[in-house]
Amino acid sequence: MNEQPSDVPAQPGDDHSALHAAPTEHITVAQAPVHAPRDTEKIDVRPGEMAGRSDDPAATNVLPRLQVGEAAPAATATATTGDDAAPVRTPAPARTGHPAYPIEDGPGGRTPEPYVTIVLPCYNEGAHVLQEIDRITATMQASELTYELLCIDDASTDDTLDVLRHAQQRYPNLRILPFRRNGGSGTARRIGTQQARGEIVVWTDADMTYENEKIPDLVRILRDDASYDQVVGARTTEEGTHKWARVPAKWLIRKIAEWLTKTRIPDLNSGLRAFRREVSLPYLRLLPAGFSCVTTITIAFLSNQHDIKYVDTSYAKRAGVSKFHFVNDAYRYILQVLRMVMYFDPLKVLMPPALWMVVIGFVKAVVDMVRHPFYFPASTVLLVVSGIMIGSLALLSDLVVRSRDGV
């Protein structure tokens, strides 16, 4: 099962460790629960039928999906002896990271490939990221799930990276990916998902807002029910800044997304979610750099018939300073929703206004014909011509989408 973290005493004069130390008594080797291997039923995990080809920079070979409780697959070669061909099985190569993203492992080196990878973007979270790591580690150690915690330092200007490296001495499942320049939470989540070694990827934040104690519950839903490809922690309260403006803005954006995807979405931009890594790979290139990456992956899954399950979860007041800018980020959310639906179904966005303009133009032309025979004002002609042009653009966009190879 999971390797238990070992306590390393702080060195004399190490004021940094004393400043950011988090309680670890409940995850010591003596107190950590020991779980016997579970005799679970094998479940086929299906890749999305409409997902297209997988773009996995962390793998050199496309490997078959594992069944729960089944050993890693092995590559099969055929050797011939006489007239009979006998299959010879050789171990499949382990997935290695991309050299452009050097991941720092703990003192014990790389742990065995886990079932779950928790991607934790960190930007100027040095004051409380250790508490979040301790909370996530305690939760996962108490579960039966093997895991790795991939912390991505997004070029923090405080001591976040130093705190992560000190924490790595006590948490063997902690891996660190430091960025040299800030790329945004969307970039961190995208690269973290590409470099993840687990079959299930979990996204969460390091600001103490999400109920990370529910991470094992989200993962178990995917493990036990192959019909779902993503599970989202739907927040029941709003505790962010500018609450008076965020609540109506999020409601409006969510309703637009529901209308465009024809699906009820309780929480469009929750940062706590678990999904199948293989299904997500074709859509990672669509993720923007900012906060709207969670909106993008939701709409991408729904637009390609990947079922999403929502689980109610609480949302606490964040620790530290929020990086969310209401005006800019709300504008990006709206644009991203429209962009994603245009990417998958442009007729849904462009054809309704085109038809309305043509209909209104023809009605106005009839009225103009009655009032002034054979005289059509420029506004009438403009309505009809604009509607035809937008409708032609909608048909052309739909043709491009349908002729596109892959996603």
**Position 396, amino acid:** L
- H-helix or E-strand containing 276? strand 273-276
| Last residue in a domain, options 302, 329, 344 | 344
One domain, residues 366 and 320:
no
**Which residue, among 276, 274, 271, 185, has the nearest Cα to 235 in the 3D structure?**
271
**Is 148 within the bounds of a domain?**
yes
One domain, residues 209 and 116:
yes
One domain, residues 110 and 163:
yes
One domain, residues 392 and 299:
no
Domain count, the chain: 2
**Which residue, among 188, 199, 204, 215, has the nearest Cα to 289 in the 3D structure?**
188
One domain, residues 307 and 362:
no
One domain, residues 155 and 251:
yes
Angle between helix 293-303 and helix 185-195 axes, rounded to 10 deg = 60
One domain, residues 286 and 331:
yes
So what's the pLDDT on residue 94? 57
- At 254-298, the pLDDT tens digits run 888 888 788 999 998 899 999 999 999 999 998 988 768 898 899
Rounded distance, CA 348 to CA 230, Å?
24
Q: 55 or 282: whose pLDDT is higher? A: 282
CB 150 within 8 A of CB 197: no
Q: Which of 38-47, 181-190, 301-310 has the lowest mean pLDDT?
A: 38-47
Q: What is the DSSP string of 75-131?
A: EEEEEEETTEEEEEEEEPPPP---TTS-PBP-TT-PPPPPSEEEEEEESS-TTTHHH
- At 17-39, the pLDDT tens digits run 444 554 444 444 344 444 444 45
**Is 56 within the bounds of a domain?**
no
**Is 263 within the bounds of a domain?**
yes
| Cβ-proximal residues to 336 (8 Å cutoff; 6+ apart), any chain | 288, 292, 295, 296
**Is 385 within the bounds of a domain?**
yes
Token pair listed for 154: 């997004």
The domain in which residue 211 lies consists of: 15-29+95-344
Rounded distance, CA 119 to CA 143, Å?
18
**Position 196, amino acid:** A
Rounded distance, CA 58 to CA 35, Å?
31
**Is 36 within the bounds of a domain?**
no
One domain, residues 167 and 19:
yes
| Cβ-proximal residues to 329 (8 Å cutoff; 6+ apart), any chain | 290, 291, 292
Q: Which of 114-123, 176-185, 241-250 has the lowest mean pLDDT?
A: 241-250
Q: Which of 108-112, 237-241, 273-277, 350-354 has the lowest mean pLDDT?
A: 237-241
Whole-number Cα distances in Å, 143 to 36, 38, 69, 168, 305: 11, 11, 16, 21, 31
| Last residue in a domain, options 295, 327, 344 | 344
So what's the pLDDT on residue 245? 64
Q: How confident is the model at residue 187 (pLDDT cuts 50, 70, 90)?
A: very high
Counted residue by residue, the chain has a size of 407
Q: Where are the beta strands (DSSP E) in 154-220?
A: 174-178, 200-203
One domain, residues 230 and 137:
yes
**Is 227 within the bounds of a domain?**
yes
So what's the pLDDT on residue 342? 84
**Is 62 within the bounds of a domain?**
no
One domain, residues 273 and 168:
yes
Q: For residue 107, count CB atoms less than 10 angstroms from its CB and return exposed for 0-12, middle for 13-18, buried for 19 or more.
A: exposed
So what's the pLDDT on residue 20? 53
One domain, residues 313 and 173:
yes
**Position 308, amino acid:** I
Q: How confident is the model at residue 243 (pLDDT cuts 50, 70, 90)?
A: low
So what's the pLDDT on residue 323? 54
**Which residue, among 106, 131, 114, 125, has the nearest Cα to 188 in the 3D structure?**
125
Q: What is the CATH number of the domain that holds 115?
A: 3.90.550.10
Over the chain, what is the mean pLDDT? Answer: 79
**Is 44 within the bounds of a domain?**
no
One domain, residues 330 and 377:
no
Q: Is 328 a residue whose pLDDT tops 80?
A: no
| Last residue in a domain, options 315, 344, 373 | 344
Rounded distance, CA 28 to CA 134, Å?
12
Q: Which of 23-27, 143-147, 307-311 has the lowest mean pLDDT?
A: 23-27
So what's the pLDDT on residue 327? 63
Q: Is 365 a residue whose pLDDT tops 90?
A: yes
